[in-house]
Amino acid sequence: MKKFSSLIYKSRCHYFSSSSREAAISSEVLNIVNSVDPMETALEQVVPFLSPGIITSVLQEQQNPSLCFRFFVWAAKRKQFRSWESHNLLIDMLVSSTFDMFDAYWKVLEDIKSCGIRISSDAFAVLIDGYWKMNNAEKAVESFGKMKDFDCEPNLFTYNLILHILVNKGMVLLALAVYNMMLKLNSHLNCSTYSILINGLCKSEKTSDALELFDEMTQKGIMPSKVTYTIVLSGLCQAKRMDDAYRLFNNMRSSHCKPDFITYNTLVNGVCKLGRMEEAFVLLKAFKKDGYDLDLNGYSCLIDGLFRARMFKEAHGMFQKMMETGITPDVILYTIMIRGLCDDGRVQDAFELLRNMSNRELVPDTRAYNTLIKGFCDKGLLDEARSLKLEISEVNQFADSCTYTILISGMCKHGLVGEAQNIFDEMEKLGCIPSVATFNALIDGLCKSGELQKAHHLFYRMEIGRNPSLFLRLTQGADRVVDSGSLQTLVTKLCESGLTLKAYKLLTQLADTAILPNITTYNILINGLCKLGKIDGALKLLKELQLKGKSPDSVTYGTLINGLHSIGRENDSFMLLEEMMKNGCTPTAAIYRSLMKWSCRKKKIFAAFSLWLKFLSSMPKREEKTMKLVEEKLQKGEVERPVRLLLDMDIKLGDFDSAPYTIWLIGLCQAHNTVEALKLFDILKEYNINVTPPCCVILIDALCKQRKLNLAIEVFLYSLKKGFILKPRICNNLLKSLLHSQYEKELAFDLIKKMESCGYDLDAYLNDDTRFLLNSCWRTQDTGIISTR
């Protein structure tokens, strides 16, 4: 140590320049590392003269990996020596060597442990990070789990690192279990901890849980960073909760956390994806005051939004404007343009755009190809879609499950279910794992083609996956896993027992061995069963999905309610509606409209009105006084006054839906109450609300049966004015009714002239009976409009 002491004395006297001193100390420390075993004792004497820079320098110069690792493990114990440079340098050594450096590192750790020397958490963080860089998450989790074997308690950085890995692998359940373990151990948490977990929850579409965690974070006095705010804003936008997003954005600004371009783009993108383009441009105007200006991402969001709003001309104009500003489009924006052209029906132009990408030295990715393949499938150009799928590999890209799903869906849509099954089999042979959407597309196709048995078989194959024994093992015994709740309990229990790797493997096996059906899968099968009249089977499937911890949605209940009505089980349908509300699932307007239709068919018009009032009462901003008045008038058998009150309220709130009024009109006709039906018809005309062709047909038919022909003609003339081409049956019925009447034959000839002038093909429309009556009447007429066949 004399040589080193002399060097230290000279360095203190500034004999060397600063850089020369560091180089000299690095050299001497390297000598200690190479010559002293154990090196730890000797190194302790030179601690006052070391720095993170010297540590990194020694690590770079050390040729022996084992000694290098040992020196790093020693340095990692001291906070003043820790640096990103040395951390990243060790990771580079672990992942870039042709030899298995990880085994060497583990051997060093075992040797140090056998000497009774404590190993720090940062020494394990390098291993965990290294495995993650090698895309080996399992080994990373295993390394984290082995820390307890070395009596090493993870520090905050290590905890955050493993949380980041778990969230990126989609194992939010396990990440939350680790988080709960941190809370029980009173571990210090920081903004990064919460940001990682909130990001995972948002990606898993658990926005409400993410907001709860965000509130928990602020209640603990941990201030959210710009990144945290942006993550939550993105989650709210994805969940279409724009009002909450605006509130959080304003909260962010008031807390003096200045938004950046990513934050602004997140909000603009959220509004654009909802098609609220006027709002998007208002936002842009406000953001410009903060110094925000559109970049490539901003333009991409706007163009995407304009296409979604079907504002095709404006989208192309925005693309041109961007090009004029000198911003070069990337593959993402080209993909947006391709999708927009396909949505506009211009698939050939979209194809040309894909070809032109190469002129800008851009290689289309799989997503760009998938977008165009979908465009071809939607147009029925299935051969072109298949050719494009084969082309993907020619540009060093790979067809993914999305590619196959699009093709399978396209084949099923055009009735080629057998072809779709062949594509499904082909994808599995090529090692491309089907997604839930893939299974759903084929199951839907099989249901629609009446092959319900095959659909069921595919459904159970989907659940069991490629390893039936594992699925059966998991659903039996003490640790019974039948739903998400029991799975969460088991994962938490394993983590608390220090068996993090076992929990990880359990979740991985479940993900790898079974594509778990989602609520869409169940809805497809339930719809298929209902259409075949197998309602009991559909109800059994409802109970099955509930037992597995899944929550039925409004589509599930709506399909079953319709199915029950179709076989006359009206009471059961209303019982299901009550169950739906008890389970916290709010019935949609579509469900109430469906119930109204069935009530009208049973001639229960007041019951239909009451149902819609019940729905409206559950909506916000509905005046209770007005709703009570409407109900009172309806109970007295009035129609005109309550309808006007409801229409005024709907229009005032900008929440108008013409469907219930159409259902009422049809219901009144079915109940032979044409007087009230005509009143409703006149009110809708007065409010400039289009009465649909089916309504016109039913009203004309009802008026003809009651011999109110003048009124029937008025409704028919309304349909002509609106440009409706009604079905031949109703046209012939009306004309025959007029021709059979002693006083209204002239009206029939006038009506024929107007029909012809409005585009009716009379040769095709008039049947033989009508022609015979017309020819009989022509004997007393000077004109001959239609010739006999």
Q: What are the pLDDT digits (tens) for 701-753? A: 999 888 888 999 999 999 888 888 888 898 888 888 888 877 777 888 888 88
pLDDT at 478: 43
Residue 310 falls in which region: left (phi positive, over 0), alpha (psi -120 to 50) or beta:
left
pLDDT tens per residue across span 358-382 = 777 788 889 999 999 999 999 999 9
Task: Give the domain-ending residue among 151, 167, 199.
Answer: 151
pLDDT in tens, 16-69: 445 676 677 667 677 676 676 667 666 766 676 677 777 777 777 776 778 878
pLDDT tens-place string over residues 88-133: 888 888 887 656 788 888 988 888 888 888 888 988 998 999 999 9
pLDDT grade for 482, boundaries at 50, 70 and 90 = very low
User: Rounded to a whole number, what is the largest CA-CA distance in the chain?
Assistant: 136
Q: How far apart are CA 94 and CA 115, in angstroms?
A: 24
pLDDT of residue 2: 42
Contacts 24+ apart (CB under 8 A), 236-244: 236/207, 236/211, 236/270, 237/266, 237/267, 237/269, 237/270, 237/271, 237/273, 238/202, 238/205, 238/207, 238/270, 239/205, 239/207, 240/274, 241/207, 242/270, 242/271, 242/274, 242/276, 244/211
Structural domain contains residue 705? yes
Alpha helices in 479-549, H assignment, sequence order: 484-496, 500-513, 519-531, 535-547
Mean pLDDT of 253-278: 86
Q: What is the pLDDT of residue 36?
A: 64
The verdict on residue 718 lying in a domain is: yes
**Reduced to 3 DSSP states, what percent helix, strand and coil does the chain have, rounded to the nearest 5?**
75, 0, 25
Three-point CA angle 138, 144, 148, nearest 5°: 135
Q: What is the domain count for the chain?
A: 2
Report yes or no: 359 and 333 within 8 Å, Cβ to Cβ. no
Which residues, other chains included, contact 264 with Cβ-Cβ below 8 Å and sequence gap of 6+?
Answer: 287, 290, 292, 298
Q: Is residue 502 part of a domain?
A: no
Helix axis angle, 52-61 relative to 18-35, nearest 10°? 50
Predicted confidence band of residue 160 (pLDDT cuts 50, 70, 90): very high
Tokens 């029925």 belong to residue: 380
Q: Which of 73-77, 170-174, 411-415 has the highest mean pLDDT?
A: 411-415
Per-residue confidence band for 471, with pLDDT thresholds at 50, 70 and 90? very low
HSE-CB at 699 with a 13 A cutoff on CA atoms is 31
Structural domain of 731 = 692-789
pLDDT for 213 equals 92
Residues 6+ apart with CB under 8 A from 571: none
> What value does the mean pLDDT take over residues 232-244?
90
* CB neighbours of residue 333 within 10 Å: 20
Final residue in a domain of this structure, among 105, 131, 151: 151
Closest CA to 604 of 668, 700, 558: 668
Q: Is residue 604 part of a domain?
A: no
Higher pLDDT, 386 or 78: 386
DSSP for 384-400 reads HHHHHHHHGGGGT----
Q: What is the mean pLDDT of residues 655-667?
A: 83
Give domain status of residue 191, yes or no: no
Q: What is the mean pLDDT of the chain?
A: 83
Buried b (16+ CB within 10 A) or exposed e, 259-293: beeebbbbbbbbbbbbebbeebeebbeebeeeebe
554-581 residue pLDDT tens:
899 999 998 998 888 888 888 998 888 8
Q: Has residue 688 got a pLDDT over 50?
A: yes
- Position 343 in a domain: no
- End-of-domain residue from the set 133, 151, 169: 151
Residue 561 located in a structural domain: no
pLDDT for 412 beyond 90 = yes
Q: What is the pLDDT of residue 517?
A: 78
For 26-30, 192-196, 235-239, 488-492, which range has the lowest pLDDT when averaged over its residues?
26-30
pLDDT tier, 233 (very low <50, low <70, confident <90, very high otherwise): very high
The verdict on residue 63 lying in a domain is yes
* Torsion angle (degrees, nearest 10) of CA 393, 396, 399, 403: -100
Query: Among 301, 303, 307, 274, which Cα is nearest to 287's?
Result: 301
- Tell me which of 33-42, 202-211, 566-575, 599-608 is least confident: 33-42
Q: Would the pLDDT of 451 be above 70?
A: yes
Q: 221 — alpha (psi -120 to 50), left (phi > 0) or beta?
A: left
For residues 669 and 663, what is the distance between their CA atoms, to the nearest angstrom?
10
Residues 613 and 129: their CA atoms lie apart, in Å, by 60
Structure-block tokens of residue 344: 């506009």
Q: Is the dihedral of CA 200, 204, 207, 212 positive or negative?
A: negative
Q: How close are the terminal C-alpha atoms of the chain, in Å?
A: 121
